[in-house]
Chain A
Amino acid sequence: MEISNNNIPEFKVIANGPLHVKGKITLINTNGEKQELEETWLCRCGNSKNKPFCDGSHKTAGF
């Protein structure tokens, strides 16, 4: 197999929307709680009611 960066987590900026994270990461929340995730969408607009995750609020907020 060729050497690739396949397992390196990717952070994709979605236009007027969240940050799409693909790959294994550890998320440390504001209260110090740790979560292992393989894929997630993190809010960039500041309006989600389920922070740090995107809940679609960016659409109504007009980010």
Chain B
Amino acid sequence: MDNFSKITDDSQNREYSNDEITVFWKPGKCVHATTCYKELIEVFNPRRRPWVNMYGAPTERIIEIVNKCPTEALTYKWNDEAKNKETINLKNERLKKGEGQNVTSQQAKPVTIQVMRDGPLVVQGDFEVFDEKGNKLKHMIMTSFCRCGASNSQPFCDGYHRKIGFNSEK
């Protein structure tokens, strides 16, 4: 694990289960894209405690939204270990960031950079990341870049923007 886990308070992490899957919630990784609660308020409702209601929608629908979350804030696992092995976990695939992939330009998905208010740059699509020395770090399909200057896992966001109260609008 990266430095991040030590800095952000892991005790905030939560797990929510229904009969089929368990959803993992890491608030430190949330960039407030609001995707989850805009799309499925029956399950993800920040005004409720606990904020995730695993019986608010069918499992397939919950997985669909977890897959849409652009960060590691929401992930899931089947409760049945065998099922984790036989089914493709799209979210985990994406979190592995498509490393080492070789996509031709025809197959490459267009890149969007979403600028998060008081938070990072959320990048999705097919892209390549190079370090300060010009070395190719990796091919990625989803990540968030720090724009507050304070992350401890530069160039990526580690959630620290909230600790420093980053205000991107001033």
Residues of A near any B CB (own CB < 8 A): 3-15, 19, 21, 23-30, 42-47, 51-52, 61, 63
Contact = CB atoms under 8 A, between A and B. Distances in A.
A25 B154 CA distance: 22
B29 interface: no
Nearest to A3: B104
B170 to A, nearest CB: 9
Given A9-B127, A25-B113, A28-B115, A19 B121 contact: yes
Interface string B117-160: 10001010111111110100001000001111110001100000
Contact of B129 (A5, A13, A46): A13
B108 A8 contact: yes
Given A8-B127, A44-B155, A63-B149, 5 more contacts: A3-B104, A5-B103, A11-B130, A25-B112, A26-B110
Q: Chain B interface secondary structure, helix, strand, loop or mixed? A: loop
A3 to B, nearest CB: 5
- Please tell me the size bucket of the interface on B: 35 or more
29 contacts: A3-B104, A7-B108, A8-B103, A8-B126, A9-B111, A11-B123, A11-B127, A11-B145, A12-B129, A12-B134, A13-B130, A13-B132, A15-B132, A23-B127, A24-B111, A26-B113, A27-B115, A28-B112, A28-B115, A29-B115, A30-B116, A30-B117, A44-B145, A44-B149, A46-B148, A46-B149, A46-B168, A52-B168, A63-B149
B166 interface: yes
Contact of A52 (B103, B130, B147): B147
Contacts of A61: 149
B159 to A, nearest CB: 15
Nearest to B132: A15
Contacts of A30: 115-117, 168-169
Contacts of A13: 129-132, 154-155
B44 to A, nearest CB: 21
A11 B128 contact: yes
B113 A28 contact: yes
